[in-house]
Each structure stands twice: as structure tokens, then as C-alpha cells.
Structure 1
């Protein structure tokens, strides 16, 4: 059996530009990935099947529409593979949390089966195959800090290396469906992302709509700010997970200790870089 890490995705910035005729939104985002995530394992089998375990497995869909199985079928069809795989997902990432858990798992399936089936496709080819699976799946194939435009699939390198940055993830244990948050956006284009603008001057344009659905998100953002020492406090994706970046592990861990006891999900971790070993 071989395994593959599925790093949680975070958005260091997320600017919405316009709603497209196909129902998606043009956006600009700085994606980053964390050492925290799910783990997907596989060994050879006649057919394709998936089992789940882990603290958030009960909230995930294990049916035929699961993104891991959809990714596996897409790769098998594209590569003309008739072999199967027995897949097992250790689910740690909260569901509907703005951390791209389903997309990360689908991307991990593509990388893992690429190895299991001996295809040796480059990540760029896997990312292209991933586009119909969801807007975040292509960047999750790469799982490193990148700039995304279009639906999020038009990817380019981000010039600043965030690897190793300590980050605290906080979720108030509420789920926020992405669709209603997009629908609640005020449709105001407040400008795009430029590498010359500091992260602290960028934003997440989905925050107000997410807070309207789950007001506790505002409490999390306020608590992270009030704890002090954070270099950046922001909601990730469509919420409800919020993140804070720190200069060192000690500052991050002090913030985590200060937020303990509220019943929120806390995850001290760090941003990973291109040397994370993904294949």
C-alpha cells in the first residue's frame, strides 16, 4: 500500500471580480497549503472502491459522486487504465470549512494513482485533467503557494515564499456551504491582486457574506486579532475556518492556548513549500 498527503488549502487573499455567464465567478487568489491535511492510501484491486475513517469522515460523502472516486475514474479514462485500486481516506480536514478538503482529496487521488498505475504524468498534466472536477482541484494538485485567476484554475507562481510560516487554523465548528456565500456577495469589484501589495492590504471578499450566514465567524476573527502577535488574520475560502500567520511557532502556540476552552476547532500548523515531496 502506498499513501499520499492531501494538504489543507488556505486562501491568503481572495478577491472576487465578476460573476460569469457559466455560473462561476472570476476571482483572484493567493493559495497556500499546510502541513495539516488528510491522507489517502491505495493498493491494487480489480475495481475502484473507497473507505473512510478519521474524525471528520462521518460528514463526508462516500458515494459514487465522491471527488476521490470521480478523480480516479477520470484518470483511468484519460490514461486508458483498466486496473483498479482499493482506496482508503483518513479524513482530518473539516467538511465545508473553506479548506478545500474535497478538492485536496481528489488531487491526492490523481497523484497517488499516477504512481500506483505507473503513469508518470507530470503535475501540470494532472492539473489540466483536474479542471472539470472543481475550481480548486488544479491548484490542490500542485499543493504549493500559487496565484490563481479565472475560476482559480489559471495558475502562476507567487513570487514570495511563504514556506515554513507558522499558521493557526480556527473553525467554530459550523459548516458554510460555498454556494450561498457566493450568492451573498455584493457584486462589487474592489480590484485585483498585485504582487507589489502587501498581504495585509489584501482581503477575502467572501467574508461579509459568510458572516451573514454564520455570525460566529466574526467572533473568531476578532478573537484572533485580540490575541495579538498575528501578522495576518483572515477567513479562508468561503469560511468558516479562519487563519492567522505568525513570525514563529511560540507566538502561534500562545494564541492557540489563549483560544482554548471556547469549543472551537484549533489546528496549529505551518505552510508547506514546493519541496513537500508531492509527486
Structure 2
């Protein structure tokens, strides 16, 4: 999810990009592929916050890209925005002289897709600036997929079922309106690669042959969400390693949540509530434990954006 504002005034940034996040209402790992990736069936929902902010300014001619990030543990050359710039330039020949400043507000290792969202925002910006060299939708989506399995979803920016690696998208109408969502972001980093390896160790030998979901299958599963069937395959290995995350889910459910589940490979958790006072109670209990929270009304603006 992203939006940007551009200006030609040299005293101001060229653009300010706002990159939102996502949660996985449903996530089932179907098995590991021959290429080492995993096939998934997952339902993405974009959220407006927490969000990262990417500021782009001009740099001296011939300098290419300079990258600064508020998260100092990420080396510039390892940042997905650097890879995004390089790969877009390789595909189009467009290498603008810019400085990129990334303010990280989406917690890392939270299962919220912050890096993928940042990449999608920059891809959209570069493609709009590339003029005649810009990529068509198919090629832009292919480049997004090469950067990360979640990046195409953030280009789409609406609720969607995803299969394959999570990059084969079917837009859907999300059924849970007129409710309140509470997103909890514990101060804990869960590495996605570790989570997949932990799942493999538990389940891989038991995995049966499967058939990829069809769009019809996906829509049937979406209709089941009206009964609050939230699910995440990562919860078993992640909760076993980090039992404090199980406690977060228990707080959400004990506060009256109609459904609660971990997002992605964790550590974030979210829940939906029928009554606002239940959501307020959950927020109070979580903040007493110093767990940052975000609250959203589930309405068409969010759930069908």
C-alpha cells in the first residue's frame, strides 16, 4: 500500500512515499517446492498503519542512488530498496540520481510485509518517472515477484487470496465489515527463514501430495471467514519457540475477540471484535504489558481498498 506526493520545487523532496502494511487473515503452508520455496494459500488484507515513509530527493548528477535508513542494522546494499533501484534500472535503463531516506515504522520480523511494501512503493514511483522506458503491468509485476513474494500484493493494494509462493493473486471482497480490528506488535523479531525451517522440521515428512487451490476454492474459503475461521500454519512452530506470543493471542480472545490469529511468520497478532468496548479492553490489557497496538474500524475503505 503506498501513495506519493511529487513536486518540482528544488527546496522540497521529489516525492514522499507512504508504504502501509498487511496482515494474513488465513495462511496455510501447502508444502515445499522443488525450488526450495513453499506453496501457500493465504488471504491478504492491506492496512494503512503502521506505515513506513520513504523520502526521495535529488542527488548530484552521476551519483546514482544513495540510501539512508532509520534502522541502522540494515546495510544499504542489503536493503530491498537498493535491490529495487538496481533491478528496475537493469530492466529499463532508468537510473535517476536520487537520495532515498527510509523511516522504518513497520516493525521488522512482525509478519507485516514492511520490506515488500517499501519495494512496491518505490517500484511504482520509479515506473511513473521512467517515461517511455516504463514497464507494462505484466513486466512490473514480474519484477516485483523477483524482489519478493509479497511485493505483487502491495502493487495490487486490495484484499486478495494468494497462492503459489503468495504471488498468484485473486482479488476478493472482504466480508468482515462493521467490526473493529486490533493489531498487536510485540517487541520481538521472528525471522521468516527460521519460521519456514521450523515448520519443515515439524511437518515436511507428514505433508501429503496436494493440488493448488483454484480461484473457486479460494472464494469458498473466503465465505468461511464470515464464521471467523482464522488460521496460520506458522503458529505451531512460532508459539513453541516464543510462548509469550501465545499469551498475546490468549489476551485477545479473552477480551472477546470473534477471531484472532498471528500474521505471516509473526510476531504480530491481530483480532476482530464485534463491540468497540471489547477492542478497548484488549488494547488496555496489551498496553499494560508494553505491547504496541493499532486499532482500525473494518469498513469498506479498508477492506475493499
What's the offset of the Cα at 1:174?
1.1
Select the structure with the greater relative contact order (CA < 8 A; seq sep ≥ 6).
1
Indicate the SS of the match to 2:231: coil
More helix by share: 2
The structure having more radius of gyration, on CA atoms, is: 2
CA contact (8 A) 1:3 1:112 kept: no
Q: 1:251 to 1:124 in 2, by over 3 A?
A: farther
- Return 5+ residue gaps in structure 2 as ranges: 1-12
Whole-Å Cα distance in 1 between the matches of residues 68 and 179 of structure 2?
A: 33
Q: In the TM superposition, what is the alpha-carbon distance from 1:183 to its structure 2 partner?
A: 1.6
1:206 aligns with 2:230: no
Return the alpha-carbon distance in structure 1 between the equivalents of residues 156 and 178 of structure 2. Answer: 17
Aligned with residue 261 of structure 1, among 288, 291, 295: 288
Q: What does residue 5 of structure 2 align with?
A: none
Conservation of the 8 A alpha-carbon contact between 1:126 and 1:141: no
Runs of 5+ in structure 1 lacking a partner? Answer: none
Q: Which residue of structure 2 aligns with residue 33 of structure 1?
A: 46
- The one of 119, 140, 165 equivalent to 1:106 is 119
Pairs within 5 Å for 1:3-22? 3-22=16-35
Mark the CA change 1:74 to 1:29 in structure 2 (over 3 Å): closer, same or farther: same
* More displaced 10-residue stretch of structure 1: 67-76 or 152-161: 152-161
Are 1:224 and 2:238 matched, yes or no? no
| SS at 1:196 equivalent | helix
Q: Is the 8 A contact 2:251 2:285 kept in 1?
A: no
RMSD between aligned alpha carbons?
A: 2.4
Verify the 8 A CA contact 2:259 2:273 in the aligned structure 1. yes
Native 8 Å contact 2:68 2:76 kept in 1 = no
The question of 1:153 aligning with 2:189 is answered no
User: Which region of structure 1 is more displaced relative to structure 2, 44-53 or 191-200?
Assistant: 191-200
Report how far residue 145 of structure 1 moved: 0.9
Aligned partners of 1:62 and 1:144: how far apart in 2?
31
2:77 maps to which residue? 64
Q: What is the aligned partner in structure 2 of residue 51 from structure 1? A: 68
CA apart distance, 1:123? 5.3
